[in-house]
Amino acid sequence: MLPAEEIARQLARGSLTSVELVDNCLERIASIDAPSTTIALNAVAAISADAREVAIARDDERSKGNTRGALHGVPVLIKDNIEALGLPGVAGSTSLLGRLSRDATLVTRLRDAGAIVLGSTNLSEWANIRSPRSTSGYSASGGLVANPWALDRSAGGSSSGSGAALAAGLAPLAVGTETDGSIVCPASVNGVVGLKPTVGAVPTKYVVPISSSQDSPGPMGRSVGDVALLYGILAQSAPPNDTASPTFVVASNWRTGHPQTDELFDHVVRTLRAGGLAITERELALPGEQEGSDEEAVLFGELYDDLNAYLRDRPGRGVKSLEDVIAYEDENSEREQLYFGHENFLAAVKSGGRHGPEYAEARRRNLAWAVDTCLTPGLEGVDLVIAPAYGPSWKSDLSVGGHPGPASPATMAPAIAGWPIMCLPIGLIHGLPVGLAIVGRPHSEWTMIEAARQIERSVLDESPWPLPLWKAPSRG
């Protein structure tokens, strides 16, 4: 799959048509993604019935000299917790099957820019909030997503299908969502680029929610340029005319604990310094048990209020509250709770929402730690924090749960604060991708993108990023 930037150029020159592009994507999805295929990625949850029809319309518009925007005729996949007309938008849950979908605001922006909504991607059910034992990439409605680099490895979560689909070349662009790590993790373990923007930069209307203070949809692609192209549309934002070279601080104590990943990150930092980038080092605050329990209390409180409001508002018959979802899953436990339960849903009901006894103080402590103790002093005098993101992907195991393997704490503070974070690949370890995380201040996305471009150029050294290895399941 060509980079989306190059696809857009070829479409503009007339050397490629949208119909050819969509047909190629659909043929590739049919050959390697469906459960009946040998590979069976399970990355795509559904295909838009009108994808080819829209492609024909985009080609016709272009032939008449009419183009809608920067993504005219470019196919995009969206995560299955984002509503779009004609797609399920069920967040991986069978409890929402059959409910009517509307175009989320971000989907309207994609269509207005000329994009073709090709389909939706599988995910960790309910964006991984349902249970502490959930398996990343598994949903009752879509099955388990495989990692294209090694088919028995996790594609991460919760934007599992978006990351795997990009790595496999099923589409040039994808949209994910993140509450804490759900874009960064699949970007890192699938070897793609992902950006979680500042909370509020990309609208969440008609996106199945977890937390209004932490949820953010964001762009994913195979290169930094592709992510920049998609981010500009999603956030309706343009890069500044003059972008100064950013300054960095290495969070020296934000390590994955995986020796080879951390050593590779250190090598990248040395390479960047040798290339003239200004990089200092300092320790940043580390989260402890209090920060973890406070974030959990906040997420459960906001989940109860926000998901209830969403379910009441969504058209059609079916579950209208979190209590309804729990009852449905108990009645359909052979499908919905085959591998793990809904302990966190029960805890969210028990929390009482934002007016419950724990929420306000937990949120106050959480924000004070993330902003005042961690990020503000960490970013003093520099533009960005960098750290390793995740180690190589772990093996998926539905029997015991699929929690992430080695990971740095890079996602937690920006998640709590609602600040942006980005991830891009920096290399392979035993044939599995690992990524670098970039954290910035609110609304510093274009600075982060410029930094990521510089890192990408330095890491790749003008060599193309390798194609997935498609390793068969194995021991060890």
**182, 211, 223, 351: which is the annotated catalytic residue?**
182
Pairing between strand 216-221 and 173-178? antiparallel
Q: List the structure tokens of 403.
A: 């929690």
Q: CA distances (Å), 349 to each of 132, 295, 306, 361, in order?
A: 16, 16, 12, 18
Helix or strand holding residue 108 (H, E): helix 105-112
List the strands of the sheet with 432-440, edge to edge: 44-47, 116-121, 75-79, 173-178, 216-221, 193-196, 421-429, 432-440, 384-388, 248-251, 279-282
Longest dimension (CA), the chain: 62
321 is an active site residue: no
DSSP class of residue 468 equals P
Q: Which of 234, 459, 206 is nearest to 315 (CA)?
A: 206
Across 3-149, where does the E strand assignment appear? 44-47, 75-79, 116-121, 138-139, 143-144, 146-147
Instruction: Say how far apart CA 422 and CA 412 lie, in whole Å.
Output: 13
**93, 95, 154, 158: which is the annotated catalytic residue?**
158
DSSP class of residue 29 equals H
Pairing between strand 75-79 and 116-121? parallel
120 is an active site residue: no
Q: Is the dihedral of CA 23, 29, 31, 36 positive or negative?
A: negative
CA 268 to chain CA centroid, Å, is 24
Instruction: Say how far apart CA 73 and CA 66 lie, in whole Å.
Output: 12
Q: List the structure tokens of 31.
A: 């050959």
**168, 148 Cβ separation under 8 angstroms:** yes
350 is an active site residue: no
Q: List the structure tokens of 223.
A: 């290169």
Helices (H) and strands (E) in the chain, counts: 16, 15
3-class SS of residue 140:
coil
**48, 79, 188, 396: which is the annotated catalytic residue?**
79
- Cα Rg, the chain, nearest whole Å: 21
Q: Which of 21, 28, 30 is nearest to 52 (CA)?
A: 21
Catalytic residues: 79, 158, 182
